[in-house]
Amino acid sequence: MTKKILLILLCILSILFTGCSGSKQVDKASIAETVTVGEKDGKICYTFYLLSSSDTPVFTSVFADSFEQACSKAKSEYIPNLSLSKLELFITEEKIADKTLKSDIKYISEKPYFSPLMYVTLCDENLEEKFVNDKKLPEQVEEHIILLKNKNKDISLNSLSIFNNFFSDSNKEFSVSYINSEKEIKAETIKINAEK
| Whether the Cβ atoms of residue 139 and residue 119 lie closer than 8 Å to each other | no
Q: Please give the model's pTM, rounded to 2 decimal places.
A: 0.82
Handedness of CA 166, 171, 172, 178 (dihedral sign): negative
What are the angstrom distances between the C-alpha of 91 and each of 7, 22, 100, 128, 168? 56, 31, 11, 9, 22
Residue 129 above 50 pLDDT?
Answer: yes
pLDDT band at 195 (very low <50, low <70, confident <90, very high): confident
Task: Give me Rg for the CA atoms of the chain.
Answer: 21
Pick the CATH number of 29-193 from 2.60.40, 3.20.20, 3.30.420, 1.10.3470: 3.30.420
Domain boundaries, the chain: 29-193
Task: List phi, psi (to 5°) of 18.
Answer: -95, 155
| pLDDT tens readout for residues 17-72 | 665 555 444 445 789 999 999 999 999 999 999 998 888 899 999 999 999 999 99
| pLDDT tens readout for residues 146-178 | 999 888 888 999 998 899 888 887 767 889 999
> To the nearest whole percent, how much of the chain has pLDDT over 70?
89
Nearest-angstrom CA–CA distance, 15 and 79: 32
51 contacts: CB under 8 Å, gap ≥ 6: 31, 32, 33, 86
Handedness of CA 152, 153, 158, 163 (dihedral sign): negative
- The pLDDT, as a whole number, for residue 192 is 84
**Which of 40-49, 89-98, 186-195 has the least mean pLDDT?**
186-195
What are the angstrom distances between the C-alpha of 162 and each of 25, 74, 135, 149, 153? 33, 25, 26, 14, 14
- The pLDDT, as a whole number, for residue 26 is 47
- The pLDDT, as a whole number, for residue 24 is 47
| Whether the Cβ atoms of residue 147 and residue 187 lie closer than 8 Å to each other | yes
